[in-house]
Amino acid sequence: MTKHVKRAFKYRFYPTDAQAAELSRTFGCVRKVYNMALTARTEAWALRQERVNYNATSAMLTVWKKTDELAFLNEVSSVPLQQALRHLQTAFNNFFAKRAKYPRFKSRKKSRKCAEYTTSAFRFRDGILTLAKMSQPLDIIWSRPLPQGSNPSTVTVSQDPAGRWFVSLLCEDRGVKELPENSNAIGVDAGLDHLLVLSTGEKIANPRHELRERARLARAQRELSRKARGAGSNRAKARRKVARIHARIADRRHDALHKLSTRLVRENQVVVIEDLPVRNLLKNGNRARAISDAAWSNFRTMLEYKAVWYGRQVIVIDRWFPSSKLCSVCGTVTDRLPLNVRTWTCDCGTTHDRDVNAADNILAAGRAASACGADVRPQRSSPGGQSVTKQESPRREP
């Protein structure tokens, strides 16, 4: 079965000096409009208990452009500015739906530099992309082809802290097809000694991308700390050097997780994972760095949307399910199992590898819930996942 899915195809490009200057102005104007609209909406509610929506902020933008102090907003394309207001509206919708915190102001130094263009603000013909307010097309490195016969509906231009320029084209991919069904099901236990342990007994090594670059990163950060703030271009060069190392780490991690998630989805009809409380685990100062490097949340996100694409199922086991302490043979739950204990023996005489036993129990719980549906409780809303909790879970229903 063929599915029509929206996919973003990201490419690197190299702007001319004029294009870089134009895009930098656009980034600044997008940030300015977003912050002004957020201020207006916050003050309207605080002072008059009035809710300001997107249409009202769009009218404000028209007024702002006519003032002398904000006349520079007319120098860039109006579409990215309108898109910034739409993004702010989405942020407020998520806040009111209790899916996110209150929107925050965009910082010139910390916020992502990006601008979004819709079809009225760019021209795409025969692989040549030209943005509004620009006379020359972008010099894009086409590392992979776009889906045949598709045209981008949205173009997002961004610059990362390392100074690299990227363009992301949102297209409808008609080539995504559901994979043939099979009977394979697998339980996945995430960890740090091994990134993943599968119920088949396979242990996938943790590449520890950050650890491999830690000495080089520390050296670059020491060099940055010795550069005085506002001391010219030397500090900017040192900052970009640190950012390039971080970007290299992130790129390697992203590539490895994509390959691993694609493999699991292609080989198995059902993938069962745990609902790990990553945000809480990061409060552990001794392990926070390693947990961040493992990127369990990113891996889960990749699994879920790829499962939707290819007709697979991802089942999520409740975080309180005692997967490690439960004997997969007799069902006995041991009272205490410290993290440093990697092998343990149950009262029934079975000796377990801690991680393989956990993966086996995760798979069994997922199969039971998939078969009877009795122990299903939504834990995190997602298009590709189903969340499961066992009746032994000590957590009460809200």
* 274 catalytically annotated: yes
Q: What is the 3-state secondary structure (H, E, C) of 227-239?
A: CCCCCCHHHHHHH
Query: What percent helix, strand, coil does the chain show, rounded to 5?
Result: 40, 20, 35
Helices (H), 268-295: 278-281, 288-294
Region for residue 277 given its phi and psi (left: phi exceeds 0; alpha: psi -120 to 50; beta: otherwise): beta
Asked if 161 contacts 29 with a C-beta cutoff of 8 angstroms, the reply is: no
Whole-angstrom Cα distance, residue 196 to residue 295?
11
Pairing of strands 2-13, 165-177: antiparallel
343-345 and 351-353 strand pairing: antiparallel
Active site residue 375: no
51 burial class (0-12, 13-18, 19+ CB within 10 angstroms)? exposed
Which of 22, 173, 210, 274 does the annotation list as catalytic? 274
- What tokens were used for 101? 């915190």
For residue 121, the 8-state DSSP code is: G
Of the residues 22, 293, 318, 355, only one is catalytic, namely 355
The span from the CA of 172 to the CA of 4, in Å, is: 6
Annotated catalytic residue: which of 116, 189, 318, 360? 189
**DSSP characters for 149-203?**
T---SEEEEEE-TTS-EEEEEEEEEEEEEPPPP---EEEEEE-SSEEEEETTS-E
- Of the candidates 152, 66, 70, 141, the residue with the CA atom closest to the CA atom of residue 116: 152
Using CA atoms, how far residue 322 sits from 275, 333, 393, 394, in Å, is 12, 8, 8, 10
Catalytic center residues: 189, 274, 355
